Chain A
Amino acid sequence: MSNFLAGIQFPDITAIIPEVIALIIGCLILLIDPFIPKQKKRLNGYIALFGFVVLFFVTLSYLGKSIVTFFDMFSVDNFSTSMKLFFFVANFVVVLISLRYLEMEDSNLGEYYALLMFATVGMMVMVSSKDLIMFYIGLETMAIPLYVLAGFIRMNERSAESALKYLLMGVFVSGIFLYGIALTYGATGSTKLVDIVRFTYINGVNPILFVAIILIACGLGLEIAMVPFHFWAPDVYEGAPTSVTAFISVVPKVAAIAALLRVYFEGFTFFAPYWQTVLWLLSALTMIIGNVTAVVQDNVKRMLAYSSVAHAGYMLMGILSFNELGVSSLVYYFFAYSFMNIGAFALVIYLRRKNIVGDRLEDFRGLAQKDPIAALVMVVFLLSLAGVPPTVGFVGKFLIFSAALKAGFYWLLVIAVVTSVISLYYYFKIARSMYLEEPVADEPLLQPLSVKIAIFLLAILTVVFGVYPTPIMNLADLSAKVFFGY
């Protein structure tokens, strides 16, 4: 036994400090929650907000560092660090729009923020891991809080239904993912990405791994919401609390795409032509089905669900380009997508008032007369989602398209451009409803302050980084160097 343990190095614990801090904040919220009186439950949200700010600055100090520890399982590099920074920015805004919304839905429990924190820990582990087992555990740690959050509104049938649907789909797909890992382990004798790439370098291409590559894409495909694993998305997005929908549609999707990118780039490097073909097909289908189906929706949450499916297709283009520009444009697109998509959902929350969820197209009718600024801000988000300058959405799409062009995927580019044009139609259905139709007399808007702050923050970020994208571009270039720096 003693010689078994000899030569084992103590892992570098400094690498996981951000994860540990996130976990501590999550547990702290759980511990403090029982002592907070029912009217002051908002304090939990403030702790979470403060926590994300602290985490942001702690993680910022890791930028430029490169640590691989825990026996080649965990890696701190610029890519994982910038992904973590992304999570904190997006989660900060999600908490901001949740504060008032949860009170309105009468389910303002501290556990909401704790579960959000635990899901964040899972995602942080996911983007940092260099081992398939670690990926799987990160994925599950992220997914289980999500199922609960989707069913968070008390006694609401739709919320419960969406949680159950999400859970059943998630369990099914995680089995597929595990099967992919098992096949990889059977073929290469290891779950570590370093060993997989070394094995395939020495022994050449193994046909079992072709199957494994598809199964791994399927397993992550649920969170990415790519075709054919998108069926859950509209139902879950519609039924879940709107703040949770904003979260699910952005942050876990980005985490899953980042994980897929790392598995394919670092583990299956020598299979590049093969997985490029697979992703080509998936990306094309995702863009077409997502955009075309969105046209016929008249529920804004469902429409945004299909639009987020379509955006997953654009993001897959960043992976399958398999070049430096592809990664950096993808990282930029993550930030852009989070600003505009959370912004659009925040507007739905802004319209939430007594007996009105705010997700029907009629709820937006005549908003320009009732609240001109909110309508204008919504138009900014819609322009950005459609990819019209001068917004982040335009810059993101431009970068991703040029990465695909550089890699020579001309037909995919044609599909992407055509579907982007289609998307203009359904985004502007909302704009038309706001500007050209007369308002209906119903409950007045509540205009909660925290949501207002979040919306304006996102709108400013959407425009500012659309005109001056350099800061995010620098971060994106740094993270692309992780894979193509040599």
Chain B
Amino acid sequence: MSYTEIFFYIFAVLSILFALLTVTRRNAVHAAICLLLTFFFIACNYVLLEAEFLAAVQVLVYAGGVVGLMLYVIMLVRKDEADEVRQSLGQRVIAVFIAILFVLEIAFISLLAYYGNYSGFLSSKMAQIGGNTESIGAVLYTYFLLPFEVVSVLLLAALVGAVVLAKNRIER
């Protein structure tokens, strides 16, 4: 068992552990922080699987952006009201059914990857030509140059728009 494999299992167990904690904690802030750690450990596994771009996106978008948004929402909800809300929707049968479907789907994909020699096909090939961050960068700045540049206009417009709408509120 190589070091990589040992670390992989450690991170995998940790991410499952924190995922379980996320759904079982009653306190919403605790749940959100557990979710953040889950995302973080999944990102660690991405690094071990030579998908470092995906790892960076995982940390920036999910751990950074999504959990940040969730904490904002939790901040806006009054705590005493939140405690009274029921923790279950009473749809156990449907939930179990969907969970089983999901497990079967993952098992099917894993078997397909194991017997079909698809495992690590893309990432190892990408690693040979300099890693997937470089590959994405190379495509982004050549074939997708124009959409990339127009997105900057989009972001500028969104920024200006947000300032306009917010400024109007403050001035009066």
Chain A contact residues, CB within 8 Å of chain B: 1, 4-5, 8, 11, 16, 23, 27, 30, 70-71, 73-74, 107, 109, 111, 114-115, 118-119, 121-122, 125, 131, 133-134, 137-138, 140-141, 144-145, 147-148, 151-152, 154-155, 163
- List residues of B (115-157) whose CB comes within 8 Å of A's CBs: 129-130, 134-135, 138, 142-147, 150-151, 153-154, 156-157
Contact B150 A155 (CB under 8 A): no
Rounded to whole angstroms, the CA-CA distance of A111 and B166 in the bound complex is 13
Residue of B nearest to A140 (CB): B154
CA distance A152 to B165 in the complex (A): 7
User: Are A118 and B153 in touch, CB under 8 angstroms?
Assistant: yes
Contact of A134 with B146 at beta-carbon distance under 8 Å, contacts A115-B161, A118-B156, A122-B153 already known: yes
Kindly provide the distance from the CB of A113 to the nearest chain B CB, expressed in whole angstroms: 11
**Does B146 lie within 8 Å of A144, measured CB to CB?**
no
Whether the pair B146, A74 counts as a contact (CB closer than 8 A) is: yes
Distance (whole angstroms) from the CB of B83 to the closest CB of chain A: 30
B160 CB-CB contact with A under 8 Å = yes
Q: Which residues of B contact A (CB under 8 A)?
A: 129-130, 134-135, 138, 142-147, 150-151, 153-154, 156-158, 160-165, 168-169, 171-172
State the CA gap A16–B158 with chains docked (Å): 22
**A73 with B172: CB separation less than 8 A:** no
For the A-B complex with A70-B145, A73-B146 known, give 9 more contacts whose Cβ atoms are closer than 8 Å: A4-B135, A23-B153, A109-B164, A118-B156, A118-B160, A131-B147, A144-B157, A145-B157, A148-B164
Find out whether the CB atom of A115 lies under 8 angstroms from the CB atom of B146.
Answer: no
Partner of B165, one of A30, A134, A148: A148
Of all chain A residues, the one with the shortest Cβ separation from B154 is A141
Min distance, Cβ B61 to any Cβ of chain A, angstroms? 17
Contact of B161 among A131, A148, A154, A155 (CB under 8 A): A148
B39 smallest CB distance to A (angstroms): 23
State how many angstroms separate the Cβ of B153 from the closest Cβ of chain A: 5
Min distance, Cβ A8 to any Cβ of chain B, angstroms:
5
Closest-CB distance, B161 to chain A (whole angstroms): 3
Q: How far, in whole Å, are A4 and B138 apart by their CA atoms in the complex?
A: 8
A/B interface sample: 29 pairs, CB < 8 A: A4-B135, A5-B138, A11-B145, A11-B146, A16-B146, A109-B164, A111-B163, A111-B164, A119-B157, A125-B150, A131-B147, A133-B144, A134-B146, A134-B150, A137-B147, A141-B150, A141-B153, A141-B154, A144-B157, A145-B157, A145-B161, A148-B157, A148-B161, A148-B164, A148-B165, A154-B168, A154-B172, A155-B172, A163-B165
Instruction: Please measure, in the bound complex, the distance between the C-alpha atom of A138 and the C-alpha atom of B153, giving whole angstroms.
Output: 10
- Alpha-carbon gap, A109 to B171, bound state (A): 13
Do B165 and A151 have beta carbons less than 8 Å apart? yes
A354 CB to nearest B CB, Å: 19
Q: Which residues of chain B are near A152, meaning CB under 8 Å?
A: 164
A100 to B142, CA, bound (A): 45
Which residue in A1, A23, A114, A147 is a CB contact (below 8 Å) of B134? A1
* A141-B147 contact given A148-B165, A152-B164, A154-B171, CB 8 Å threshold: no
Residues of A within 8 A of B145 (CB): 11, 70
With the chains together, A8 CA to B142 CA distance in Å?
A: 8
| A131 and B147 alpha carbons, distance in the complex (Å) | 10
Instruction: Name the CB-closest residue of A to B142.
Output: A8
Q: Which residues of B contact A163 (CB under 8 A)?
A: 165
Question: Within the complex, what minimum Cβ distance (angstroms) separates A26 from chain B?
Answer: 8
Rounded to whole angstroms, the CA-CA distance of A137 and B146 in the bound complex is 10
A338 to chain B, nearest CB (A): 23
CA distance A23 to B154 in the complex (A): 11
CA distance A163 to B146 in the complex (A): 29
Q: How far is the CA of A148 from the CA of B146 in the complex (A)?
A: 25
Say how far B155's CB is from chain A's closest CB, in angstroms: 9
What residues on B are CB-neighbors of A115 within 8 Å?
A: 157, 160-161, 164
Expressed in whole angstroms, the minimum distance between the Cβ of B140 and any Cβ of chain A is 12
Q: A1-B129, A5-B138, A118-B156 are in contact. Are A138 and B164 (CB under 8 A)?
A: no
- Distance between Cα atoms of A121 and B154 in the complex (Å): 9
**Whole-angstrom distance between the Cβ of B107 and the nearest chain A Cβ:** 23
Which residues of the other chain, A, contact B158 by a CB distance below 8 angstroms?
144
Top 4 A-B pairs, shortest CB-CB distance: A148-B161, A118-B157, A70-B146, A154-B168
Closest B residue to A153 by beta carbon equals B168
Give the distance to chain A from B127, nearest Cβ to Cβ, in Å: 12
Please indicate the chain B residues that have their CB under 8 angstroms from the CB of A27 in the complex. Answer: 156
- Whether B172 pairs with A141 at a CB distance below 8 angstroms is no
Residues in A with CB closer than 8 Å to B163 are: 111
The closest CB in chain A to the CB of B168 belongs to A154
